[in-house]
Structure 1
Amino acid sequence: MLDKRYQVFITTSGKEMQPERMVVSQTLIGMGFFSWGLEQRTPLSTAFARRQIDDCDYVFLLLGSQYGEQSVSGVSYLQLEYIYAVTKQKPIIVFMHENPESRDESLQESKKELKDRFYEFRHQLQKEVEQVITYRTLRDLELSIRAYMPQMLERYPVSGWVRPQSIQSLQDEIDKLKSQLSQAKAQPSKAEIDPFLSLPRVTMSDTFSFDYRMHAYQDGNFKELNPIREMTWAELLKILAQEFNQAAPEEYFSKVLNQYLNETGLEDAQKQMPRAHAVSRCQINVRSLHLIKQQMRQNDWIVPVGRDERQRMLWKVTDKSSLVIKNSALIGRQTRII
């Protein structure tokens, strides 16, 4: 196995996030990652930060309760680094404080203008970034990194960095892949098999079971649970159609489903923790998410329709599935009238 390492660029609003930056850096190093980032920014450091973002594999954005040091344009260096990472299509995880107002007053923005910009930027991140994780304590932040980083590696695979002594192993792997490619070209009938044909055909009334991760809160503490949810394909399609009636990026699959699980997961949590009063950070299993996407495409319910200006794959419900949803809703209304 190759000895591979990944580089993570950490961007924060400034000095008030030093404790969080230290926890994140130490946690990443303990997990085998390299952590980069600039603690102090100036107009001269912008180019250096961009070079680090160019070379990194993932970007961590830590948002507490301040908009951050501002560039000459009035935009914070934190927001500028976020914008640059988006243009370079870097996988981004945002860790933001769950309740900024609860932090010490010395950590708050003193000027109303900057406070307004902070909340505007916070709302922008929640809307644009798929992986937005909230935290309350430094321990909470550490546990979130340990939980979500393996999922990022699986969801957004990158080349990473390989030790020089592992180059021979890398070359051996390349030679092996070349041999497999040659064999595949010699057997075109196998290579042309549609990967979706291996999935079983399903109907709207068939059920699908999947597990997901959540934080359940009880008696002032939280516990991570892994409940199992069973839903019909009609229910899943109806949930997704709310977002995919119009062309939407592929990452909205997880965004929509996780939001739904956050809204409905309390009942699942109470099966294990009867006194649980709230849930958060619901995250569907990555493999289950991929299977849902493949099944939706195989059944011609939701299909890719192109790419947006950021080169993200766009998906949209088909006319066939829209008609099915409309008919099921009509039947439901007629049943209630009867």
Structure 2
Amino acid sequence: MSKKKYQVFLSSTYSDLQTVRDSITRALYELDCIPVGMEAFPAADEEQFEFIKKLIDQTDYYVLVIGARYGSIAPDGMSYTEKEYRYAMEIGVPVLAFVHSSPDTLPKEVSDIRDPKKAEEFYRFRNDVTAARMVKMWDSDQTLPASVVLALNRAFSTSPRQGWIRSPSVDTEKTLEKLVELQEELTSAREELKLFKAMDGQLKDIAGLDAEVTCFVEAWKRDNNSSTVRDGVKEFHVRLEDVFRDVGPNMIESLNQDAFSNMVALFVSKGQRKWNSVEYKFSLTRETLNLLRIQYEALGLIKVFRSKTVGGKTANFWQLTKTGSTEVRRLNVIKAN
């Protein structure tokens, strides 16, 4: 018979416990569980909470982690974290609670207890949880995942649940691998969103893709000694949108910065350059390359990272963000007549 896999809902406040959540999620995968939670869009309104309830309906075990925050408040005055907890209790899902033993020692950046009103709600909720059942106290991010795994193993024996069993027509291992991949993508998307929001407050007057920029293109040729030498610089004017429409699709997968420079140089100088010999190659000046990078990054369209090349060297690579992918599709999709 196929091994049963349990679905575990991980509940907590989000921004203050993100690292802890990531560690516990990895531990759950290693335990061969199916972790679920609101990683994509932490609960912030009643519509999303209705979706959360459906997830909890399908959950075998509910893990609650409490630090020093009460969480986002719903219209009824209760935090969404508490609403999740009470719903799990209401429908009879086994609850495993992990409560920080000394919330007053946590930094103020991740704590509500310095605000009298928030502190009152936090301690009320914390006391309700600790009074309702046996809970595990924690004070270390490093040991908490192991405590969760031990508690779940005990629950598997004392309170077995329906779980999920592999169907002959479904490859559960591949499904779990896909879940891990999606989780990593969501983490990356959250970081991009965080960066975009931070930049949005600072760059209110930034020019959009309709702006025209000056690109300086360098030509290089081989001399009589077969050495590559510079053969002049030409100035071209082009719109950011036109460059992005032409070169953007090449960044769906990561694109070496030198290749990007060559593609843009060929595009902006097309039909205007006098060089036709195969002995020539073209690139952007460093100033032009930096200008394009700064502008596209500021618009949230690309991310640039260092990585190994096929030859083993290290280089910059340009890749579209989620926003950039959407924009490339908008600019290049073939529209119906």
If the TM-score is normalised by the length of the shorter chain, which range does it land in? 0.3 to 0.5
Bigger Rg over Cα: 2
Q: Which has the higher helix share?
A: 1
TM-score normalised per structure 2: 0.48
TM-score normalised per structure 1: 0.47
